[in-house]
């Protein structure tokens, strides 16, 4: 597995398309709000109305659901960006083998107490990003099913009750993903040639793409 050689930081030539960057930014903000608000909200249950934070969690969650659906549409329709096979390597033997050797490569670098170099096409990083998409789809999906079928009571039973249990069971994973993913992005920005603006700059029409 080759590591892409360091390229000069070139924020206006992002490999992520503008729709990817816009939806990613909206989703990241929505998920941060959802996680922080979940710490102070009181859900509606047993005949008691929820507090204002809970209402924010409901509407923020529905917005997150719309954004993750949009993310899937962008992933399917876009012509530039991480290939779907890198994000979801689970169905191909060759992809899984590449993932395994990338895991070993990362482990060897970490054993030397060094930060792995940034690699645009890293099978490990991409697979983790794919799992992040599935995780946030599950969080927003379970919450949305509960919203429409749970009768507005967090102590509901049946399918909406099971959905809420899954929602709560996955909550810590969502925290872990956010903290791990954002910290690694910042560390790579500080200590490698990777530039956070690759994903966070909203400038349109990267020059490298438009010049022919």
User: Which of 18, 21, 23, 27 touches ligand HEM (CB under 6 A)?
Assistant: 27
Beta bridge partners of 48: 45
Alpha-carbon span 184 to 42, nearest angstrom:
32
The answer to whether 191 touches 16, Cβ cutoff 8 Å, is no
Does position 136 bind ligand HEM by CB under 6 A? yes
Number of chain positions touching ligand HEM (CB under 6 A)? 44
The answer to whether 192 touches 115, Cβ cutoff 8 Å, is yes
Does position 43 bind ligand HEM by CB under 6 A? yes
Does position 36 bind ligand HEM by CB under 6 A? no
Give the residue ranges of DSSP H helices in the chain. Answer: 18-38, 52-77, 84-87, 93-111, 123-149, 158-191, 197-200, 207-210
Q: Which two tokens stand for residue 189?
A: 């920005």
Does position 185 bind ligand HEM by CB under 6 A? yes
Nearer to ligand HEM (CB atom), residue 9 or residue 199:
199
Q: Which residues sit at the interface with ligand HEM, rule CB under 6 A?
A: 16, 20, 24, 27-28, 31, 34-35, 38, 43, 57-58, 61-62, 64-65, 81-82, 120, 129, 132-133, 136, 139-140, 143-144, 146-147, 154, 164, 167-168, 171, 174, 177-178, 181-182, 185-186, 196, 198-199
């Amino acid at each position: 597995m080759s590591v892409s050689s360091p390229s000069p930081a070139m924020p206006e030539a992002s490999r992520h398309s503008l729709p990817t960057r816009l939806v990613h930014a909206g989703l990241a903000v929505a998920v941060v709000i959802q996680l922080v608000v979940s710490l102070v909200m009181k859900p509606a249950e047993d005949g008691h109305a929820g507090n204002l934070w809970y209402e924010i969690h409901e509407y923020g969650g529905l917005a997150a659901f719309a954004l993750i659906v949009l993310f899937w549409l962008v992933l399917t329709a876009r012509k530039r960006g991480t290939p779907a096979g890198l994000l979801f390597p689970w169905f191909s033997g060759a992809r899984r083998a590449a993932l395994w050797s990338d895991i070993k490569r990362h482990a060897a670098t970490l054993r030397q107490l060094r930060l792995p170099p940034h690699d645009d096409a890293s099978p490990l990083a991409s697979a983790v990003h794919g799992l992040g998409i599935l995780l946030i789809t599950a969080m927003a999906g379970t919450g949305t099913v509960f919203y429409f079928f749970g009768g507005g009571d967090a102590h509901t039973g049946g399918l909406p009750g099971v959905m809420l249990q899954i929602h709560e069971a996955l909550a810590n994973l969502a925290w872990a993903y956010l903290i791990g993913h954002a910290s690694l992005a910042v560390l790579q920005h500080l200590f490698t040639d990777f530039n956070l603006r690759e994903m966070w700059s909203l400038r349109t029409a990267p020059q490298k793409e438009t010049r022919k």
